[in-house]
Structure 1
């Protein structure tokens, strides 16, 4: 059964339930895979491989579109997830160094609060659980000693179309998890928490000998490869090795990917990787099925995630250990009772957020020493304060082998900032993910102010030079302790580690020399950093052998204050006389000996702008702004420069400059502040940056409130904010935070508008209700807004019409909703929505004749696809198959592009009714309908109906072919066996038919 059929069967169970039913705490099930690229869980990545159970969670739960690992390697990442703390706080430096054995995890806290707990499969978050290599290999990077994989990544095809279980260890653990759900969880009166860790889709270790020995294998079978759409597999672009960042080149070399790879070889690796993801998805499905079969699913929160991603030959690498999206972007989907469904959440989150989230779900208050923040507010219809409670950035760091420096990644907004080691010896990287999704263009030199801002933000989170130094010392200490533990066996053991040259070629002597030198240098660095805060400059780790020098010495020459003033006065006069070249000469005279003179840099910016030298002008203004960030002149100069240029890289920075001017003008010149806010609003509106538009509108209103302007002006500002943000609601381009700002604008407008009751108040109340009706997660506010309007305007049917329409769409039918339909009919006896509601209720109660009557009457007044679907269902129940098929056609005619799920429901029902009708014409309609259902060929129940349609047409051979394929793929499928029996009956083989 495909994800649609599963979703349809579960939807009634889950939709509309409270988070903790009857005061009970929900069960919690987490499935964590290994090396699963998070981009496969949403479009366009989700199209390349069939992941029905990931899609099921996506449809009935919420998908986080920007979820990141806190370290792109197994053990440190999992340590962060289990502890809720950043890697540098737990000192989980590599796959050998994880959490201490006595560290408290969220599972421990659940157990202490009465949960029945169970962990199965891959845990991998404590120290000492990995091989010796992971303990000592990272140390070699500190002495410029190059490691590499001993074999290239390869693919391996195993089995045939019947070979399903490739990763047997994972399947065994999955079976145990399902068995535990059936036998232990189902019998328990306690809430339970189950964790299942999968190895897939992590590559296998190559088993064969020869040139690929010790490498990694992407292994799968034809069964899983069939789930991959090979025509959608992209071949990632690579930079030439000479243009690679030094750290990227090192990683590519150590992973043995510097050789030639054909396009077919790359596509094959990616196809096999996607097939391995499909196998992992099936394991997730087994867990979900076990929960459904035991009746536990409707009170269980299901979480699917991964420790990191997989590059799969992006950036000429495989594995992880990189901050590029393929490696650092992880899946995160959460589904459960009372949680919103079908959401795609843009907020930046990371694995440390899962600890407080799980505790929040269980009703447990988290401690104060966590790095993460609960995600529950985003999922449970109460996310208004979410942004105030969590930062707008995520942090990831890496300290293990295959990368020659400690690495730190800060993602904030559209920017991804990556820096290394002490921030000086290796150049940083900056990517604009809104324009460069492949991360091939390092724009750190184009946007130095962004780099400065993000680096400052990063240093406020973690003192990364100090952390890098601590890791360096740990590596040396770890290597030395390991060597002492080995004693006389040291020479034999170290020779088996993976060096890029034969160990016997006197490498040992070189390594010992570097060990002594590096140990001494590390000590010196530590002393200097802690003594006076100065930076220790060592050789660059790049492959070109370039050496970094220390800080530039201050010039011994000094210019007197009088001389500086004279040169600046001359520059000012030259600008006044439009002699800009002379102005530059005077400014350079100042800067030659006093390089940090703010006014000189501002004058250079102005002069260069007039000489049509925009790049030089920009650099000068930015230098001045860096020197005196709270002074106006440089920011004004940048704004004027960017206003008159068409350069795209200037234009994208203009909003940031305007925002800075707003902040500066706010305390000095309100009139100019308001002018800049208007310009900023125009840009955000044009670019459809609705969240930024909301924030700048709120800033304007706050400034006006501080001026104590009258209520009429404030009302006008709130109304303007509504008008600006409402377009985004209609275009479905707003995130949850923006929607909350729009709601705030409506609420303030309703408070300020007068008189009450009155026409203006009635109109804004109706507009507010219309807005909330487009936000399915705001059901409670919609109810309150409708009730409020009914209090002031009891004869208005509009609030009840909106509520009834909402209830029909969501399928929520209870005493309150039925009361709503009845109230609507009292006000408007001919209301189509009222009759549709009563008819839908009758359908649910099995009163099919009443349902047909009310639904037919309602549809005459109000044609809607949900009503037609309900009518078709009622007609089907009383065997009026032709009428049911006709109603399905009416419903399909009213479907729009956003009604994909309901359209599939209508097509599925039409298929079955057409088959039940019998006859050749109805069979043709059935086959045509089958062809319109997305992925129908993958749903065995629907395929069985297709076979029956062929049988109705008299095409027995075609029906026999369909039945044979069904029975071959699933011998126990009832629909397949029934079809085989009908075929035998049509052939006159009645004895065989009875056996089926």
Structure 2
């Protein structure tokens, strides 16, 4: 690996599940530009978000800290990042590097010190408040907005597609016109696209890549085959997906989701081509990942916010000078690893207070496998009555519910689709105990759960109380800049 500092192009998407890309082995989803990026770079096979919902995931990504970190506390989509802990952008700016974002941030407000010299067409949480409806956890309401989005999926145009077009065009202009002017120190450009996040509407030329009759249907979707667990039933109720969508609706939403991924990939290809045309490809490292995944019907689940691989697993690909070419890394990695990665890649000195952060640079992790590395993720809102924690430890994946529900345990080597929950088998009690001890070595699960609930209760009261929040409903997604939210 080259130790020379390089520019950094960070391409980020929203709700792209790890397995939905050609380079990750999907036989249908067409992602030629991501495939080429992986062919010439390093692909991380087991990458995870640290919180499977937008705002917490992005706060953790920015700061290299767990969602529950006492200096961060980005519990939910109403607890945004506002500069309360230093971001990787702050560290680069402090040492004189140019740091620019284009597109979705999902922080509190542009007026905050968010760690960028310039934020171009940013998207933040709704009115600096977010989606209070997602904080209603016990009793948990039945979702209305999400089923509407599934039933209205299909082909056409949307404000999100337009937003990604604008983001891409502005990023192309920045790479062509501004990037070559920063020659004294490496620059960092964060291009944050919104696809394939709902609304699930794909442009015709990408939707038509996926004829309905050719689609792979979700595994274990039917009522008589999906896994039953009280935590999963809470989730399905809260998202309004406790029943079944008909076959035609499923095929339409899957085609739209895949089409949006191919549209995303096309925009990524434009960015890479612009970098090559500018003559900067040999001095720029590229990272692609997403804030969380998408369940898309698997095991009777839709959206994110749960701990199955479809929801919590994200693609992670890195390419550029010094990055091993055509390499796949099995070591589990997580979004908070991005913080030290960008600092190392751009030659920025690690501050003393950052030495104890839990992440490890992806540049270092690309040098060899560490299969027993521990990964942690957490969910404190939408679909979870109480905290849900994920611990990945070697081949084992342990899901711990703070509600009085049984845990789940999966062997990811022998059961990658997570169909065989071993937590109730006495033969695996020792492994459950080891995972529980490892979890408690990271956090105090009860304390973290109570801290989140206390902060959420305060926010609900500021929003007028439970009845007012219920009456207002949820918009389903954060509107693009210039678009008004529609509550349901």
The TM-score normalised by the length of structure 1 is: 0.43
Residue aligned with 1:40, SS: coil
Alignment of 1:151-166 (within 5 A): 151-152=147-148, 153-159=150-156
Q: Is the 8 A contact 1:147 1:498 kept in 2?
A: no
Report the Cα offset of residue 126 of structure 1.
Answer: 4.1
Alignment of 1:295-310 (within 5 A): 295-310=279-294
CA distance in 1, matches of 2:322, 2:453: 47
CA distance in 1, matches of 2:106, 2:73: 15
* Equivalence for 1:234: 217
* Equivalence for 1:31: 11
Report the Cα offset of residue 465 of structure 1.
Answer: 1.2
Report the Cα offset of residue 147 of structure 1.
Answer: 3.4
CA distance in 2, matches of 1:100, 1:312: 31
Count the aligned residue pairs. 449
* Equivalence for 1:474: 455
Change (3 A) 1:145 1:46: closer
Residue aligned with 2:243, SS: coil
Q: Gapped runs of 5+ residues in structure 1?
A: 1-16, 205-217, 485-489, 500-996
* Equivalence for 1:81: 61
Change (3 A) 1:494 1:148: closer
> Which has more strand, going by share of residues?
2
Higher relative contact order (CA 8 A, sep 6+): 2
Q: Gapped runs of 5+ residues in structure 2?
A: 113-123, 476-488
Q: Is the 8 A contact 1:94 1:400 kept in 2?
A: yes
Report the Cα offset of residue 240 of structure 1.
Answer: 3.7
> Which has more helix, going by share of residues?
1
CA distance in 2, matches of 1:229, 1:103: 47
Q: Is the 8 A contact 1:420 1:427 kept in 2?
A: yes
Question: 2:406 is matched with which residue: 427, 430, 449?
Answer: 427
Alignment of 1:626-645 (within 5 A): none
Q: Does 1:183 align with 2:177?
A: yes
Question: 1:364 is matched with which residue: 323, 348, 369?
Answer: 348
Report the Cα offset of residue 140 of structure 1.
Answer: 2.7
Residue aligned with 1:196, SS: strand
Residue aligned with 2:330, SS: strand
CA distance in 2, matches of 1:219, 1:187: 38
Q: Is the 8 A contact 2:220 2:227 kept in 1?
A: no
Q: Report Cα offsets for 1:670-696 as digits up to 9, x if no partner.
A: xxxxxxxxxxxxxxxxxxxxxxxxxxx
Q: Report Cα offsets for 1:531-556 as digits up to 9, x if no partner.
A: xxxxxxxxxxxxxxxxxxxxxxxxxx
CA distance in 1, matches of 2:316, 2:373: 18
Q: Does 1:259 align with 2:243?
A: yes
Report the Cα offset of residue 264 of structure 1.
Answer: 3.6
Q: Which has the larger radius of gyration?
A: 1
Q: Does 1:354 align with 2:335?
A: no
Report the Cα offset of residue 146 of structure 1.
Answer: 2.4
CA distance in 1, matches of 2:241, 2:319: 39
Report the Cα offset of residue 319 of structure 1.
Answer: 1.2
Alignment of 1:180-219 (within 5 A): 180-190=174-184, 191-204=186-199, 218-219=200-201
Alignment of 1:793-808 (within 5 A): none
CA distance in 1, matches of 2:176, 2:135: 47
Alignment of 1:269-284 (within 5 A): 269-284=253-268
* Equivalence for 1:215: none
Question: 1:52 is matched with which residue: 14, 32, 54?
Answer: 32
Report the Cα offset of residue 243 of structure 1.
Answer: 5.6
Report the Cα offset of residue 179 of structure 1.
Answer: 0.1
Change (3 A) 1:227 1:248: same
CA distance in 1, matches of 2:95, 2:234: 48
Question: 1:394 is matched with which residue: 370, 375, 387?
Answer: 375
Q: Is the 8 A contact 1:166 1:221 kept in 2?
A: no
Residue aligned with 1:411, SS: strand
Change (3 A) 1:316 1:341: same
Q: Does 1:454 align with 2:449?
A: no
Change (3 A) 1:38 1:260: closer
Report the Cα offset of residue 258 of structure 1.
Answer: 2.2
Q: Does 1:417 align with 2:412?
A: no
> Which of structure 1's runs of 4+ aligned residues deviate more than 6 A?
163-166, 490-493
Q: Is the 8 A contact 2:158 2:201 kept in 1?
A: no
